[in-house]
Structure 1
Amino acid sequence: MKLPLFPITLIFLFLSTLAKGQTGYELNTGWLCSPIGSQKAAGPAISNPTFPLTGWQNAVVPGTVLTTMLHNKQIPDPFYGLNNEKIPDIFNTGRDYYTYWFVKDFKETAQSGEEVWLHLRGVNYISDVYLNGKKLNKETHYGMFLRQTYNITSLLKTKGVNRLAVIVYPPDPVGNANGGQGGDGTIARNVSHQYAAGWDWIQPVRDRNTGIWDKVIIEKTGKVNINNPHIVTRVPGKRNPEGPQEPATIRVTAELENPGTTLVKGTLQFLIDGQKITKEVSLKPKTTEEISLPDITLKNPKLWWPNGYGKQDLYPVSLQFATSGQISDTEKMKIGVREIQADWNAVTRSKQISVNGQRVFIKGGNWIISDAMLRFSDQRYNAEVRFHRDMNLNLLRIWGGALTERPEFYEACDTYGILVMQDFWGSGDCNGRWLDPMKADDQWTRRKYPDDHALFLRSAADQIKMIRNFPSLAMWCGGNEITLPEDIMLPLRDSILPKLDGTRWFVDYSNSDDMSFNFLGGNGDGPYGIQPLTKFWNYRTWPFNSEIGSVGVGDVESLERFLPKENLIAPSYSSETQREKVDSVWDYHKYIGYGKYIDPYGKPKNVKDFGRKAQLANYDQYRALMEGFSSHMWDWYTGVIIWKTQNPWTALRGQMYDYYLDPNACLYGLHSGSEPLHVMYNPADSTVALINNTFKHEYDLMLVMKTIDIQGNEKSLGQVFVEIGPSTTRMIMSIQEQIREIAKKEGVFLSLRLLNLKKEVVSDNLYWLPDSQGEYSGLKNMKEVSVTTKIRKIGKGQIEVTLSNPADNPVAFFNRLSVVDSQSKKRILPVFYSDNYVSVLPGENKKVILDYPEDQTSAPMLSLEGWNVQEQFFDIQ
């Protein structure tokens, strides 16, 4: 839908697919597979339960051909070293090499009055489906983003097993992985993801992710099946997160399917918070009809808010169809009541987002995909989204060259209050925005990709129905850095989205003028890579920047997981050539350089020293990025989205945690710089400022400022009572003269704190500032200290760690806490820390809460290691 330059309302809601139908279960074990070249028989024969499966191998479903081959140890781990080069690429082998049959035997029967349904939630790319000797799909299925549903009631065996057989063909064309973005670009002729042919953050996925990559579900219902419920909430006016609320309105529709041969009469009902609305329905045979229920008013609703602004309250609800006194089908869900507005900020010249009538400054990250080989799990989704909550972010953008994320991802976002900007599947790199000698076709030809526009639109409509009810879905985006072809974009914007959703802002593409007026020219993205800290404060970039980022290499323990020992060589920077010398395997894993920004801490002695010093740069970069953007909230900017916060492959760039879910200091720099109420230091002009990213006016805050030299001596820079209004940035004072003099010899620590009237610290920020030459000369010669560590178990898999630093010590600087295996001393992953890379001032203590998995083969221990603190291990009792 085309947006005018005045407020429009976007309304969202949470739908958790906790139960599909009366009964439902996944077919996720016991699959077998075989390459097409090994089978001469056709689908009807293979899907007959009597057909012998001698020689067939175990298969991973959901999964891809490569995940099956990896499971069967037929290929090496493509995420390690140069192993990916050892796997044949489909462009060279031909498509038959990765064309596979997948077979599953299962027991199921249909009782009288029951209907049994088979759901395939995602197959890439071309498929035919057979059951017990019969083909289910009339026409061959195409497209990665189309769900398939078949009524299999009449084909089920009354005794014995049923056999499901699916043949899966790769995309066509598969694209030449020639090193370009999306290879030669032709992978984008399909309605599939483009990164599988390679990108600047990943090497090519050799099978282009061919396979049954998403869930296969059996569902049983009565005579009528409920499909694609659509629930919308309206929350008018300006609301506050706390206190009584005016009523909200809920609107419910659903598709009811009658697959039988007779008319069915019954009642559709919706239940929420002790209330029920109903409607009598008559369904003709062999039809599907969309039914609208009467609106329901929810009094004093508990509202859903994004992270940092309020709670993520959810309501359990039930949608049922009953006929002849029997429940035919039930959909159990959870909904979150909230409403979103998107309007134009004339000062910044960009869109601004409001939730329940209150504008929200967007602090986001770009998300590629959870796993490049599509090995998805609820647990991994939960961990990754929780990390983003812990960064104090409030939005994730799902990048266009990948896919529509799975419902389980949105469930995690709903839980943690993370809004989502969902791109569709186009990207400027493949779809013709730029002249590119790596591409097979010219810009005019690429501009028309994909080949089948009707398939794109059918796929978009299907995916909209799948995820439209989640509150974490905040906006739709046509594509990455380019509009979709006009005969795709216009129907999508003007017809499909208004009909199937009608509640969300649609932005034509990720850096469209409708989102962020790009008055600086260029394509509207960046800058990328490591920057001087002052640039984040002084350089005015695009007012709603969809991509800006920096570095993200982990420490040595992270690097050891995927780099062979002989390649654990630290990059070396030459001030003469202003270039880094980098190992070839680091290059293969897309290393993005730190340039001159490591050497001020001292030339790295080895890879461990490099990783340790890289964390200091990581923390500083992302703290300064978010502080700099926040300092210009509502005058320069309405939002910023970091490129990028995670990697679905073992890439050495832009990530707050590595592929194995091990966080690095980027995460905690963001955690600090993005906190809702924050005190900060501007390195460009040496001013101290406050940022309030909440809806509350904060009164009676004491600002305490002091420096601590390298020996641990403190000097007060003053303290003053301050206050700050809601959603506001405020400059307090300059400390330029004091800092310049104190830091000039060997640098200095700057401590900024906000305390409330109870003298509780509500914001704590410690900077390490260089000397007058830009060197961290004092840090290079810091005295080693010992800290006292106290561990208190406060729950299952949860401990409180207190670090105490004696008064006569220097700062105990930049301490990394880890939960490790007691035998190997390797980190247990994932672990969630309330803070990390923490420093403890002389005479003070610091408390950190750790959540860790307890299902380990040996007892976990706590590891502590800092800049000037030797590594130590402690038992967790």
Structure 2
Amino acid sequence: MKSIKHSLLALLLAVPCWGQAQTRYELKTGWQCSPMAKTKEDGTVLSSPAYPLAGWMPAVVPGTVLTTLLANKQIPDPFYGMNNEKIPDVYHVGRDHYTYWFATDFQETAKPGEQVWLNFRGINYSCDVYLNGQKLTNRPHTGMFLRKTFNITPYLQKSGKNRLAVIVHPPNPVGNPNGGQGGDGTIARNVAHQYVAGWDWIQPVRDRNTGIWDKVTIEKTGGVNLKNPHVVTSVPGIRQPDGPQQPALVGTSAELENPTTVRQEGTLRFTINGQTVSKKVSLAPGTTTTVQLPTLTLANPRLWWPAGYGNQHLYPATVQFVTGTQRVLDEETMQVGVREIQTAWNNTTRSRQISVNGQKVFIKGANWIISDAMLRFSPERYNAEIRFHRDMNLNLIRIWGGALTERPEFYEACDRYGLLVMQDFWGSGDCNGRWVDPAKKDDQWTRRKYPDDHGLFLTSAIDQIKMIRNYASLAMWCGGNEITLPQDIMTPLRDSILPKLDGTRWFIDYSNSDEMSYNFLGGNGDGPYGIQPVERFWSYRTWPFNSEVGSVGVGDYTSLARFIPAENMVSPVYRPSGKSQVDSVWNYHKYIGYDASIDPYGAPADVRDFARKAQLVNYDQYRALMEGFSAHMWDWYTGTIIWKTQNPWTSLRGQMYDYYLDPNAGLYGLHSGSEPLHIMYNPVDSLVMVANNTFRYHRDMMMVIQVYDMAGKDSTLTQVFSEIGPTLVRPYVPIGRTIKALTKEKGAFLRLRLLDLNRQPLSENIYWLPDAKGNHSGLQQLAKASVQLSARQLAPGRVEVMLANPAGGPMAFFNRISLVDATTKTRMLPVFYSDNYLSVPPGEKKTITVEYTPTTTAPLVSLEGWNVPEQFTPIQR
């Protein structure tokens, strides 16, 4: 292998292009495929437009071999039950079994002066490409995270009828799916994602996601191809989200390729907010040049802020190369968020803290694996998932190192919703040698050198940096998950590549490094995982910027029934003195035990009752997690990142919504515990506290503290005007003795509110507290509440739902609202609720908004609560 140091410059110049060109369209229909074993001819024959593709199967592109086989009903749904066991694994049947030819026909010609480009945004793992009988690859294109572009102008048919054929091979090695994290670890010898050989939250993906997994596009330009534009915004000083702004600075550069045999003269120009900067350029034939434009000063800019702190303004911007006659040879368009990310070491917490536009931001983060384990990505799914994270009142998503660099559409959604992104590269300590592991094929010393081709890793990193570096949401880079990358990868990445190609974001060498968070507790520097006593979140001081801490995530009965066969819908049985009883399908889908946490609510009567009580645990766990960290912000902590908030398959752990985008109560526990201004109860010190995760000073707030007994009787403990400064947490009122007395017999409901001067709620929080023995005996005997449900349409796809609980009865506790099909009563997904799993005190009303994609038939609103029978209501117009 060439010296990394000597080949770095060549790598920086050799990365292929990508972007939104002057003319571009996607090749996503009409694809066909055939297994290599059944295909006798080579690519020069198969790519001839006249060659008949008789017997070939319709193919899914973008997609994988498995997505195509599933679409053609050649395999069962691997996400349902034990179906994945019925699908041959590539390790056992060999790579040839999942090596496939893909082909499609398209119409295209090149007019005089036009250049036509074929772009692949992702192929896994290696391929050869043929067009109209010509082989375009002089050697196999290799690497999951490496885009590839071909200038196909000379190979187009004069008739305009063209045939593209691609043979795609699986990774090598594919790894033994032996039950270890990443199987036997050898999947990490490739520059590809590692989870496909199995992990503790997923079963193996049988084809290891072999295929043309991302977009294929045709791009037409003039004599100059403008690619990889780079926009850097600088926001000096300490800014506020509102009011007039001092100027911001915008720097722009772009790569210009002249593929022709003549010199190209023209102007590179950048336009944003009606302002333009430009520079004249002369390009020699057959060269590529990076051109830096003069800095543009943006007066009184509208800034981009993380969710909860301000708006996410995005400026439309254009980069163009034009001739002297103002003919546009190529252009790229983008959305620019004007912001600046800073980082500093907090000496109090001994961890990094993140600032945006000069203001420190307490990180409330989520670990993200991937949107879909079989790479079935879509802008709509990305939008829904990122919106859920915004609705949880989180402000950061970490993309975990065993997965991939997400697609541009993911970052576009993060830009829209204000989610900062921490992007890991593709190493994980589980496969890459951090620990002794009997499941691994190679020893630690060997695994520490993975992947096999370090040059390919760096080339891929360069390419992916260029692809996503313009997104405002991208806030930091991380070398690896729980381990550093090999030194001859990490050193040039940190010291040469990122400074040259970005230079604006923090790079951390690995996810729980002492550079991020001082590990004063020993161990791995993250966790714990699983259910914790609520008090522990408040009282136990963990790592000051915990990169992974998490818990459970079982959905309700409706969610479980989507992927667990009826005969396996059996409630887990916890045995504290022996082995718990868990159904085999639950185990296969990686169930993590709720253990004794269900017991205080009473032994589950059946699986439906178990899932209902699990929602109480979900809500309580995740509310307490974020409240406990927020209670110590800037003192113990600068942030935390939950492990994890979503699953790319039908797993039974670590998720706030299921694979089908159906929320569980954990989402709304986080929605409450993470709200920007939040009143909360510290169960350790029996203090009422307020956390202010905004840059605003909140004055003249009325704090109201009430307790409701199980019959609905209200005892107001106190109400007092209060205030709190920006980005602070404060203790206010001790209520220990009173609470102890009021909850002794049956438990009670503790209601905390912050009201403005118009008596409108700024924050509300309702806790269900156990009796003196730690049981929820009162909840087990709670009388029915006669809730009145109504709904009215505010606009197409937007509904207001009202719950009214008459006076004289008990609390209407833990109510789930759902939007359902009027005929089948099945839930519509995805649907977004301003709140859910909510409780309504007697004599009061609660109103929430529901947003969804309208359908041809009007849906119904359903309601079911702990002590509220299921009911449905139509939507009034």
SS at match of 2:855: coil
Post-superposition offset of 1:50: 1.1
Q: Counterparts of 1:647-726 in structure 2 under 5 Å?
A: 647-726=647-726
1:46 aligned onto 2:85: no
Other-structure match for 1:819:
819
Matched, 1:131 2:131: yes
**8 A Cα contact 1:343 1:351, kept in partner:** yes
Q: How far off its partner does 1:18 sit?
A: 12
Instruction: Assess, with a 3 A threshold, how the Cα gap between structure 1 residues 537 and 214 changes in structure 2: closer, same or farther.
Output: same
1:398-442 per-residue CA deviation (whole Å, 9 max, x = no partner) reads: 000000000000000000000000000000000000000000000
Which residue of 1 is the match for residue 323 of structure 2? 323
Equivalents in 2 of 1:362, 1:63: separation in Å?
34
1:136-157 Cα distance to aligned partner (Å, 9 max, x none): 1222111000000011111111
Task: Verify the 8 A CA contact 2:260 2:285 in the aligned structure 1.
Answer: yes
Match of 2:12 in 1: none
Per-residue CA distance 1:736-791 (angstroms, 9 max, x = gap): 00000000100000000000111111000000000000000000011111111121
What amino acid is aligned across from residue 253 of structure 2 in structure 1? T
In structure 1, distance between residues paired with 2:386 and 2:25: 25
SS of the residue corresponding to residue 512 of structure 1 reads: coil
2:310 & 2:580 partners in 1: Cα distance? Answer: 46
TM-score (norm 1): 0.97
Q: Which residue does 1:442 correspond to in 2?
A: 443
Which amino acid in the other structure matches residue 200 of structure 2?
D
**Where do 1:513-528 residues align within 5 Å?**
513-528=514-529
Structure 1 residue 210 displacement after superposition: 0.2
Secondary structure, aligned partner of 1:498: helix
Is there any run of 5+ residues in structure 1 with no aligned partner, and where? 1-16
Paired AA for residue 876 in structure 1: I
Q: Which amino acid aligns with 1:867?
A: W
Shift of 1:612: 0.5
Per the alignment, residue 793 of structure 1 pairs with 793
SS of structure 2 residue aligned to 1:318:
strand
Q: Distance in 1 between matches of 2:505 and 2:449?
A: 26
**Partner residue in 2 for 1:459:** 460
**AA of the residue aligned to 1:129:** V
In the alignment, which residue of structure 1 is the partner of 2:13?
none
Counterpart in 1 of 2:872?
Answer: 873
Corresponding residue of 1:346: 347
* Equivalent-residue separation in structure 1 for 2:130 and 2:836 (angstroms): 53
Identity of aligned residues (%): 68
Matching residue of 1:158: 158
SS at match of 2:685: coil
Q: For residues 418 and 462 of structure 2, what CA distance do their matches in structure 1 show? A: 25
Could you say what secondary structure the match of 1:480 adopts? coil
Residue 780 (1) aligns with residue 780 (2)? yes
**CA deviation vs aligned residue, 1:716-751 (integer Å, no higher than 9, x gap):** 111111111100000002100000000010000000
Superposed CA offset, 1:475-500 (max 9, x none): 00001000000000001000110111
The CA deviation at 1:576 is 3.9
The aligned counterpart of 1:88 is 88
Note if contact 1:656-1:665 (Cα within 8 Å) is conserved in structure 2. Answer: yes
Instruction: Give the partner amino acid of 2:704.
Output: V
Q: Secondary structure at the match of 1:205?
A: coil
Give how far 1:580 is off: 2.6
Does 1:570 find its partner at 2:556?
no
CA positional deviation for 1:24: 0.4
1:103-182 aligned within 5 A: 103-182=103-182
Contact 1:19 1:333 in 2 (8 A): no
**SS at structure 1 position matched to 2:340:** strand
Q: Deviations over 1:628-670 (max 9, x none)?
A: 0000000100000000000001000010000000000000000
Is the CA contact (8 Å cut-off) linking 1:18 and 1:333 kept in structure 2? no
Determine if contact 1:543/1:637 at 8 Å carries over to the other structure: yes
What's the CA shift for 1:820?
0.5
The structural deviation recorded for 1:324 is: 4.0
SS at structure 2 position matched to 1:620: helix
Give the aligned partner of residue 211 of structure 1: 211
What SS does structure 2 have at the residue aligned with 1:227? strand
Structure 2 counterpart of 1:440, which letter?
K
Worse-matched range after superposition: 331-340 or 90-99: 331-340
Q: CA deviation at 1:275?
A: 1.0
Question: 1:330 deviation in Å?
Answer: 1.3
Displacement after TM superposition at 1:209 (Å)? 0.3
AA paired with 1:498? P
| Residue 412 (structure 1) aligns with | 413
Q: Over residues 378-411 of structure 1, what are the superposed CA-to-partner deviations in whole Å (9 max), with x where a residue is unaligned?
A: 0000000000000000000000000000000000
Contact 2:352 2:517 survives alignment (8 Å): yes
1:294 paired with 2:268, answer no
SS class of match (1:569): coil
Q: Distance in 2 between matches of 1:469 and 1:631?
A: 34
TM-aligned CA deviation for residue 805 of structure 1? 0.6
- What residue in structure 1 maps to residue 198 of structure 2? 198
* Contact 1:308–1:394 (8 Å) recurs in 2: yes
Q: Quote the Cα distance in structure 1 between the aligned partners of 2:581 and 2:103.
A: 50
Report which structure shows greater RCO (CA 8 Å, sep ≥6): 1
Query: Which digits, 9 at most, give the CA deviation of each residue in 1:595-614, with x for residues without a partner?
Result: 00001101000111011100
Decide which moves more: 157-166 or 207-216: 157-166
**1:646 corresponds to 2:660:** no
Q: CA deviation at 1:855?
A: 2.5
Distance in 2 (CA, whole Å) between partners of 1:298 and 1:774 is 59
Q: Take 1:266 and 1:396, find their aligned partners in 2: how far apart are those partners?
A: 41
Q: Is the 8 A contact 1:707 1:714 kept in 2?
A: yes
Deviation at 1:332, TM superposition (A): 1.3
Q: Tell me the CA shift for residue 804 of structure 1.
A: 0.6
Q: Which residue of 1 aligns with 2:861?
A: 862
Structure-2 change in CA distance of 1:549 and 1:304 (3 Å): same
Residue 18 of structure 1 contacts residue 332 of structure 1 at CA under 8 Å; is this kept in 2? no
State yes or no: 1:509 paired with 2:510: yes
Describe how 1:65-104 pairs up with structure 2 within 5 A.
65-104=65-104
Aligned counterparts of 2:619 and 2:608: Cα–Cα separation in 1? 17
Q: State the SS of the aligned residue for 1:426.
A: coil
The within-5 A match list for 1:198-277 is 198-277=198-277
Task: Report the secondary structure of 1:334's partner residue.
Answer: strand
> SS in structure 1 opposite 2:382?
helix
Q: Give me the whole-angstrom Cα distance separating, in 1, the residues matched to 2:344 and 2:148.
A: 37
What is the rounded CA distance, in whole Å, between the counterparts of 1:280 and 1:659 in structure 2? 51
Counterpart Cα distance in 2 of 1:817 and 1:751: 21
1:768 aligns with: 768
Distance (Å, rounded) in 1 between the aligned partners of 2:18 and 2:624: 41
Secondary structure at the counterpart of residue 404 of structure 2: coil
- Describe the SS at the equivalent of 1:865: strand
How far apart are 1:333 and its partner, in Å? 1.2
RMSD of aligned Cα (Å): 1.0
- The answer to whether the 8 Å contact 2:18/2:227 transfers is no
* Equivalent position of 2:8 in the other structure: none
The DSSP-based 3-state class of the residue aligned with 1:192 is coil
Q: Is the 8 A contact 1:366 1:399 kept in 2?
A: yes
CA–CA distance in 1 between the matches of 2:66 and 2:240?
50
The structural deviation recorded for 1:574 is 2.3
Query: Corresponding residue for 2:387?
Result: 386
Provide the secondary structure at the position in 1 that maps to 2:427. Answer: strand
CA distance in 1, matches of 2:814, 2:702: 25
Q: In the aligned structure 1, how far is the partner of 2:576 from the partner of 2:653?
A: 22
TM-score (ref. length: structure 2) = 0.97
TM-aligned CA deviation for residue 160 of structure 1: 4.4
Give how far 1:321 is off: 0.6
Contact 1:200 1:590 in 2 (8 A): yes
Q: CA deviation at 1:19?
A: 7.3
CA distance in 1, matches of 2:106, 2:474: 36
Residue 705 of structure 1: how far off its partner (Å): 0.3
1:106-126 Cα deviation digits (max 9, x unpaired): 001111111111000000001
> Secondary structure in 1 aligned to 2:726?
coil
Aligned AA for 2:850? L
SS of match in other structure, 2:792: strand
Q: Distance in 2 between matches of 1:267 and 1:193?
A: 41
Q: Secondary structure at the match of 2:426?
A: strand
How big is the shift at 1:873? 1.0
Partners in 2 of 1:469 and 1:751 — Cα distance?
Answer: 45
Contact 2:806 2:843 in 1 (8 A): yes
Between 551-560 and 43-52, the greater mean CA deviation after superposition: 43-52
State the 1:281 CA deviation.
0.3
Amino acid corresponding to residue 434 of structure 1 in structure 2: W
CA distance in structure 2 between the aligned counterparts of 1:795 and 1:419, rounded to whole angstroms: 31
Q: Is the 8 Å Cα contact of residues 127 and 169 (structure 2) preserved in structure 1?
A: yes
Give the AA of the match of 1:59. A
